[in-house]
Amino acid sequence: MKSRRMAGIAASALAGSLVLAACGGGSGGGGDEGGGGEAIITVNTTEPQHPLVPTNTNETGGGKVLDQLFDGLVSYDTNGEPYNQVAESIETEDNQTYTITIKEGWTFHDGSPVTASSFVDAWNYGALLSNEQASSYFFESIEGFSYDEDSELTGLEVVDDHTFTVTLKQPESDFPVRLGYSAFYPLPESAFEDMEAFGENPIGNGPYMMDGEGAWEHNTRIRLVTNPEYAGDRVPQNDGIEFLMYDNEDAQYNDLLGGNIDIVDNLPASSFESYEADLGDRATNQPSALTQVINVPEYLPQFSGEAGLLRRQAISMAFDREQITETLFNGTRTPASDFTSPVIDGWTEDVPGNEVLEYDPDRAAELWAEAEAIEPWGDEPLYIATNTDSDHQPWVEAVCNQIIENLEIGCEMDGYATFQEFTDARDAEEIRGIFRGGWQADYPALNNFLAPIYFTNAGSNDAGYSSEEFDSLVTEANGAETIEEANEILLEAQGVLFRDLPGIPLWYQNVVGGHSERVENVEFDWKSVPVLYQVTVVE
């Protein structure tokens, strides 16, 4: 999710050079920094959808936890700039074959060493079709990946304990930038003995580790403590983290005001007129790499064919994004003009076809009438599905009210009590209408808002969209020699999306959060996540 830029990535296109330079910082001994074992910070989250396996976690509830338990080859600073973490170097001469050398001295929480095989084995597990991992798509560009049958990633080769090579299907200049995403985290040998048990009590290599058996109390909390053998530069300045799970954003905000939780990264809309006065300099409102859309599932027959496309366009033009963001969100959202995010370098609002995002109720009514002439909608209302344990109900109702008025059809919110219930129904294709979607960036590149969501069979392609033209353009962009060239091709790809509208962009979302008087050094990064290792407890 959120704010900042993507400078430094162009360095990855320099063939034959050190792709990403190592970043300076402290090392080891995270447990010595907290002071007495009482400096535990509390943070809001949601129940993870799946067990905490890196390649099977692609939602924010689980991602928040995994990113504290693990470190990857690459990390991103608070501005979204990549630097080497576990990697000593990532080198290439052709942007297709990469030689990756990892630093010595890294261990997992169980004391076993982090080796080249820790990455290769984890990636092969994540890519294997039969393992049904949610993030398998991220290995698609590596030689040997298959959507049709179980196949080993033949493009991975272990050279020695600290070196391995990656051969891609084609040159891809931004490949190193992706390597900070959780799908590319390493796994210890013990994980493969019982992956289900591992997911309940994961063993990582990061600054924090699970607080023993029972650390994950489902639907309640997840407790982490510092890793005393940590070898990276994210050295904890506290004694641990307790993630508290909420099903109501007003409740978590009231807990923040009452001092019962230390950090909240999404305040409810009901607080937008008062939170700055309530929290003072403990309030945060900053741009972030987070977007919201309405997804249109391909399995719904009323949205197929020519009539379906007309309906998608009509719905997009039937509600006023500017009015909704101003009246409901008080300047914490910005109407979208594309499918990506303005905080990412290379973004532009001049995207072909984005006029369909303009509020035009007369044109919307005309488009709906044209669709009705081809195939009548029927008596059923238009359902917009969302989870109701987050603050989505007000805007869904506002969108529905304008659709009712401008298209003269029924429109209702289809609510799911929890995020997990909502995502389970979404993944099982049980949702009976269109549904809300949010995207928090995995890595700082425009393509991260496109390929994982709309590429055929991609792990987060929740609407089931498939376009040979879009896929071809994304593949071409991946093979571009520079990020700038890739972004030009991605503009064409966005043009395809605006023509087909598998999703209807809504708005760009700021991180609107706050912290208690108990903690200091609270900062939110480029994708809206609090930088937890640097948070200190006031003595």
**Residue range 50-74: mean pLDDT, rounded:** 95
pLDDT band at 196 (very low <50, low <70, confident <90, very high): very high
Contact at 8 Å (CB) between 287 and 508? Answer: yes
CA–CA dist 184, 453 (Å, integer): 18
The topology (CATH level 3) of 25-241+512-537 is D-Maltodextrin-Binding Protein; domain 2 (3.40.190)
Q: What percent of the chain has pLDDT over 90?
A: 85
CA–CA dist 337, 335 (Å, integer): 7
The topology (CATH level 3) of 290-509 is Dipeptide-binding Protein; domain 3 (3.10.105)
First-to-last CA distance in the chain?
31
CA–CA dist 387, 395 (Å, integer): 12
* Strands across the sheet containing 156-160: 87-92, 97-102, 163-167, 156-160
Decide the pairing of beta strands 283-286 and 511-515: antiparallel
Which one, of 504, 509, 515, lies nearest residue 329 by Cα?
509
* Higher pLDDT, residue 331 or 216: 216
pLDDT band at 12 (very low <50, low <70, confident <90, very high): very low
The string of pLDDT tens digits covering residues 226-283 is 999 999 999 999 999 999 999 889 999 999 999 999 999 999 989 999 999 999 999 9
Which one, of 260, 256, 261, lies nearest residue 280 by Cα?
256
pLDDT at 174: 87
Residue 220: φ, ψ to 5°: -130, -60
- Which part of the chain has CATH 3.10.105.10? 290-509
Checking if the pLDDT of 420 tops 90, the result is no
Two tokens, residue 78: 């608070």
The string of pLDDT tens digits covering residues 80-112 is 999 999 999 999 999 999 999 999 999 999 999
For 193, counting Cβ atoms within 10 Å of its Cβ (0-12 exposed, 13-18 middle, 19+ buried), the class is exposed
Which one, of 455, 463, 464, lies nearest residue 496 by Cα?
455
CA–CA dist 120, 469 (Å, integer): 32
CA-CA distances (angstroms) from residue 253 to 43, 124, 246, 274, 440? 11, 42, 10, 12, 21
The string of pLDDT tens digits covering residues 359-375 is 999 999 999 999 999 99
Specify the long-range contacts of residues 255-259, CB closer than 8 Å, at least 24 apart.
256/514, 256/515, 256/516, 259/516, 259/517, 259/518
- Which part of the chain has CATH 3.40.190.10? 25-241+512-537
The string of pLDDT tens digits covering residues 463-521 is 999 999 999 999 999 888 888 999 999 999 999 999 999 999 999 999 999 999 999 99
pLDDT at 248: 87
**Residue range 283-305: mean pLDDT, rounded:** 95
pLDDT at 185: 98
Contact at 8 Å (CB) between 55 and 135? Answer: yes
The string of pLDDT tens digits covering residues 126-181 is 999 999 999 999 999 999 999 899 999 999 999 999 999 999 999 998 899 999 99
| Whole-structure pTM value | 0.82
